[in-house]
Structure formats: C-alpha cells, structure tokens
C-alpha cells in the first residue's frame, strides 16, 4: 500500500482514522481505542523525542516520539473503558508519578500523564493514523533526556542552544522534566 494514497488507511487493522485541517486521530494497534487531538496550539502543547530510560523500555526501542495535548482538547472517541493504567514514580527523574494508559487488548501505550502536569496527556506520534503528520505538523520539535554518551536523534538538526538545553547544561534554560 502506498502511503501517498490518502484514500486508503495507512494501517488497515483500524481503517477509520482521519485527519482534518486542525484535528486528527490516534488509534491503538487493534483498533479498539481511538482518540481525537488538535494538530495546532493551544491544544497541541509540544512535540518531542525522549531518550529517558522509561522511553527505552516502554517502546522496546531507543527513544519515544511524543506529543503533548491539553486534556481540555483531547477527545476519547471510543474504547476509553478498554484502557488500563499502570503508574509508578521510581524511574521518573522529577519524582513525579507517571501513569501509562494502554489498550488492554493489544497493549498499545496511548498516552502517559505525569502528576506534575495532570492537565496534559503525552501521546505517541507513532499512533497517529495519518502518517504524513509525523513529518509535518507533528514532527518532533525538540529532544529531551539526552545523556553525554548518546548523541540522540534530533541534535544533528537542532541548534547548539537547544542541545545544551536538552542536556541540562544550558545556563539560561532549565532542563525539561516530565
Ligand atoms: Zn488495542
Ligand atoms: Zn521519556
């Protein structure tokens, strides 16, 4: 299937995702859970790649690509009662409690909520049904939780100032901790 053919779903298990000018959907792997989110501010707070240990483990990958949405602008279209939660604070650098909300059927992590920012939900860029948004409106704008021995995903495209901020070595900007 060509991803340039917008008349067909990019991922056929859930074939009813959509994107409009200012709103789009995320859907879990099996299709049971679907939400709608804004593709611009103020409802869309930020887009970022995170290299923290949680993001390694929960993605079974090297990093997670995330976006943050204000809860006031996030709509559960279906499957909210299919979501299960898992919460812990041991691995969160800030000490905040982080709650994962995932599909109890297929296991897809749909969003995380930090007790430090309870009015925001942190969604996964990879669950967006319209794949073109991953490298357009929802393209990661910053990278966080870098370590000095990992050069990261975004820095080659990021300014030295942003990299210093991501590494927590900036004198003018505080590190971003969820
Ligand atoms: Zn599912
Ligand atoms: Zn992370």
CA of 173 to the centre of ligand 2 (A): 19
Look-up of token digits 């593709």: 39
Look at residue 156 in the predicted model and tell me its pLDDT.
46
Q: What is the pLDDT of residues 37-85, one digit of tens each?
A: 999 999 999 999 988 889 989 998 888 999 999 999 999 999 999 999 9
Residue listed under structure tokens 């210093």:
164
Query: Do residues 54 and 91 make contact, with C-beta atoms less than 8 angstroms apart?
Result: yes
For ligand 2, the distance from its centroid to the CA atom of residue 150, given in whole angstroms, is: 14
Ligand closest to CA 29: 1
If you measure from the C-alpha of residue 9 to the centroid of ligand 2, how many angstroms do you get, rounded to a whole number?
29
Read off the pLDDT of residues 128-137 as tens digits, 9 standing for 90 and up.
Answer: 999 999 989 9
More confidently predicted of 161 and 173:
161
Say which residue, 172 or 26, is predicted with more confidence: 26
* 43 Cα–ligand 2 center, Å: 21
Q: Alpha-carbon distance 12 to 111, whole Å?
A: 22
Q: Which residue has the higher pLDDT, 43 or 145?
A: 43
pLDDT at residue number 142: 85
Going from the Cα of 31 to the center of ligand 1, the distance in angstroms, rounded, reads 5
**Rg of the chain's alpha carbons, rounded to an integer?**
16
Q: Which range, 123-127, 134-138, 156-160, has the best average confidence (pLDDT)?
A: 123-127
| pLDDT > 90 fraction of the chain, expressed in percent and rounded | 58
Q: How far is the CA of 12 from the centre of ligand 1 (A)?
A: 13
Is the CATH code 2.170.150.70 the one for domain 23-167? Answer: yes
Q: Is 168:39 a contact under the CB 8 Å cutoff?
A: no
Query: In the predicted model, is pLDDT for residue 101 greater than 60?
Result: yes
| Alpha carbon distance 84, 106 (integer Å) | 11
Predicted local distance difference test score (pLDDT) of residue 25: 97
């Amino acid at each position: 299937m060509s991803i340039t053919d917008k008349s067909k779903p990019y991922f056929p298990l859930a074939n009813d995702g959509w994107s409009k000018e200012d709103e789009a959907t995320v859907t879990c792997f099996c299709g049971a859970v679907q939400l709608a989110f804004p593709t611009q501010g103020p409802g869309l707070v930020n887009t970022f790649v995170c290299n923290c240990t949680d993001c390694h483990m929960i993605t079974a990958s090297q990093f997670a690509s995330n976006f943050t949405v204000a809860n006031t602008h996030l709509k559960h279209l279906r499957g909210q009662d299919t979501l299960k939660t898992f919460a812990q604070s041991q691995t969160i650098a800030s000490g905040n409690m982080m709650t994962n909300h995932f599909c109890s059927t297929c296991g897809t992590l749909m969003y995380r909520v930090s007790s430090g920012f309870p009015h925001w939900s942190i969604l996964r860029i990879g669950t967006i049904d319209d794949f073109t948004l991953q490298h357009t409106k929802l393209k990661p704008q910053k990278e966080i939780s870098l370590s000095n021995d990992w050069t990261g995903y975004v820095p080659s495209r990021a300014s030295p100032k942003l990299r210093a901020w991501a590494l927590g070595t900036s004198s003018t900007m505080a590190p971003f901790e969820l």
